[in-house]
Amino acid sequence: MFGAIISHMSNDELRVPIWVDTLPVLKNLAEKLSNDPAFAVDTESNSLYAYREQVCLVQITTFDGDDYVIDPLSIKDLSPLRPLFVNESIQKVFHAGEYDLICLKRDYNFEFRNLFDTMIAGRILGRKVVGLSAMLEAEFGITLDKKWQRANWGIRPIPAAQLAYARMDSHFLIPLRDILYQELVDNDRTALAEEDFHRLERTPVPQINGEKDTIWKIVGRTDITPRQMAVLQRLYEYRDSQARRANLPPFKILSNDTLVAITQALPKQIEDLESITGLSPRLRERHGTNLLECVSKGLNSEPPRRPHSPRKDEELITRLESLKSWRKKTAARFHVESDVILPREVVEQVACVNPRSMGELSALMVQFPWRLEQFGHEIIQTLQPGEQA
């Protein structure tokens, strides 16, 4: 699907980025992009600063190297971009684009076709360092200022230095794509890359876990009694209500560790809160009475039930281990990480179904034709040693 679309943008000097905060300007940009063979995309969200994160910036670099920064907080309707993202003739270049796609699908219900991801390409080529900053420094001598990585992208106006950092996340992606594409060609790995770019297109938007599932994840391996779990659920619900009201991420109200510490201590009076790690005098003053009320109500509530997780039988575990061992050895031959050879979800599905022939395996790997051709017989032999595929 993707070809050698070589860009002609100059990296000698950066043009001033164009701020897009009205629908007419966005429509003009979309019209311009509709004539480009490719453009680069990045996004910034405010997950560290809001109860429900949202896309706060969309950075786009045109094929000719012009940078546009779109303000979704001013433009609520980003639909002019929709035809571009699904256009098979226009390649969209991302770096580590999975999170960007999740955010854009979640907030705008976008779909995507014809992607190139520079991080995925780097991993397929066996590069040891595939972070954008490291790749830009290695290829172009560009150093990104990492202090803006955790910045609040929901503030307006955005400081000039912060905006300059944002535009750099997309500015060099097309020339980086050019280099990586040629390496994929030279190493005969373009078909493998296409499979993973198609897989990226199918990235699902994760469902928000229910409260009961979430509290079990908070506990992790900590030894908690059923009565304490009832307390933790009350504390979690209280924290969530406070975060929603303040429009802050829950961890900025009270940390998970603090919730677990309160659950273990089961304080009965304000003085008992003083010894709990993570509860500063300010937090005790603000939340102390309510926390004690949560403990009291939790101790008198029905404990939540642990979510059911089907137990893997011994034969399935053996198949999983065999496939993982084969995958690790194969990855060493190709000088890549093991999940490049076969993604985790495919390994698990194949192990569960336990195909006994290439026909059965091909039905499971219809979206991975290159891997099926390259590794299909090895997979069958791994699962059915001694049998003919």
Domain edges within the chain? 18-201, 211-299, 314-383
Task: Report domain 314-383's class.
Answer: mainly alpha
Tokens of 105: 């699908």
**pLDDT per residue as tens digits for the range 155-197:** 999 999 999 999 999 999 999 999 999 999 999 999 999 999 9
List, for residues 136-147, the tens digit of each pLDDT value: 999 999 988 888
Global pTM value: 0.90
Give percent of the chain with pLDDT exceeding 90: 85
Token pair in block for residue 94: 């991302």
pLDDT given for residue 8 in this prediction: 45
Structure tokens of 358?
A: 């290439």
pLDDT tens digits for 333-380?
999 999 999 999 999 999 999 999 999 999 999 999 999 999 999 999
Q: Does domain 211-299 have CATH number 1.10.150.80?
A: yes
Contact present, 40 and 173 (Cβ < 8 Å): yes
Pairing type for strands 38-45 and 91-94 reads parallel
Helix and strand numbers (H, E) in the chain are 17, 6
Fold matches, 211-299 and 314-383: yes
Confidence label for 216 from pLDDT (cuts 50, 70 and 90): confident
Residue 228 DSSP label: H
How far, in Å, CA of 168 to CA of 59, rounded? 9
Q: At 55, which amino acid appears?
A: V
User: DSSP label at 90?
Assistant: S
Q: Domain 18-201 in CATH: superfamily? A: Ribonuclease H-like superfamily/Ribonuclease H (3.30.420.10)
Averaged pLDDT score across all residues of the chain: 93
What size, in residues, is the chain? 389
